[in-house]
Amino acid sequence: MTAQQFIKKRPYLLWHVNHKDLGKVSDEAVVEAVLNNGDFDDVKKMIRILGARKTAGIFRKQTRRKRTNYDPKIAHYFDLYFKKHA
């Protein structure tokens, strides 16, 4: 299963994207949507699909930017989580 197939089953996580376009979203968009809006089961499934290192790398790249779409509490939690598990 790819990240795009995974997100197609959870269109409510990317509510702002047309349902027809969910297969075209980037891994980065999937990671951001799942970490921000998914439950922990969604997070675990996504990590199984992408791998912990790749997911952590995408997250770190996104949170190093000046502007980020992550809620500060979410960013802090997953910063700690990936330091321990990736």
Tell me the mean pLDDT in the region 58-86: 94
Amino acid sitting at position 4? Q
Tell me the mean pLDDT in the region 28-49: 95
**Looking at 10-14, 47-51, 67-71, 74-78, which range is the least confident one?**
10-14
Q: What is the pTM of this model?
A: 0.88
Pseudo-torsion of CA 38, 61, 71, 69, nearest 10°?
-90
